[in-house]
Amino acid sequence: MNWIEITALCICMLIFLAGLVTSLLPVVPGNFVVWAGVIVHKLWLGDASVSWKIVLITGVLTLIGQTGDLVLGLWGAKKFGASWKGALGALLGACIGFFLPPPLLWLVIGPIIGAVAGEIYAGRTWQDGSRAGIGTIVGGAIAFAVKFGLSVCVVGIFFLGLFF
């Protein structure tokens, strides 16, 4: 490896690190940051980098992870009996929570409050709203695992494609 390849790899590893850290947050597209590291390396080094097939495979994994992050919280709420208003409240709570300080706290609490508020707005009881909130937590935990796991897979596939 020459100094340009080492520099490119170090910068991509910093991008991977930033992406993995941000993929720990709900709704935030940290897995796209990880994939951006793959693309930056490919565009910077061309044939000395991974193949376009690897870029495409990691891109598909990135889309699956982000879609799962958006859908699984709603799925959890619906699985625990939320109405469409409760599920919509969970989604709105996540989106609004992204802009409230401190965002990390509100990205977790926002969907729960939104699901409960949506259920109460739909004329259901606090108990129904609480179940929807718990479902949002369960779905969010599954979404976190899927998104972070696929981000780690993208990094792993990149290094396998680069060195083997």
Domain count, the chain: 1
For 35-44, the pLDDT digits (tens) are 999 999 999 9
Which one, of 114, 76, 116, 122, lies nearest residue 98 by Cα?
Answer: 114
pTM: 0.85
For 57-96, the pLDDT digits (tens) are 999 999 999 899 878 877 888 899 989 999 889 889 988 9
Average of per-residue pLDDT values in the chain: 92
Structure confidence at residue 11 (pLDDT): 97
Q: DSSP class of residue 80?
A: T
For 111-151, the pLDDT digits (tens) are 889 999 999 999 999 898 899 999 988 998 999 899 999 99
- Percentage with pLDDT > 70 across the chain: 100
Residue 22 lies in domain: 3-163
Structure confidence at residue 5 (pLDDT): 95
Please tell me the number of Cα atoms within 13 Å of 160 on its side-chain side. 11
Please give the Cα distance from 2 to 61 (Å, whole number).
30
Cβ–Cβ under 8 Å, residues 7 and 44: no
Q: Tell me how far CA of residue 133 lies from CA of 46, 68, 72, 116, 126, in angstroms.
A: 47, 18, 13, 6, 10
Please give the Cα distance from 85 to 27 (Å, whole number).
19
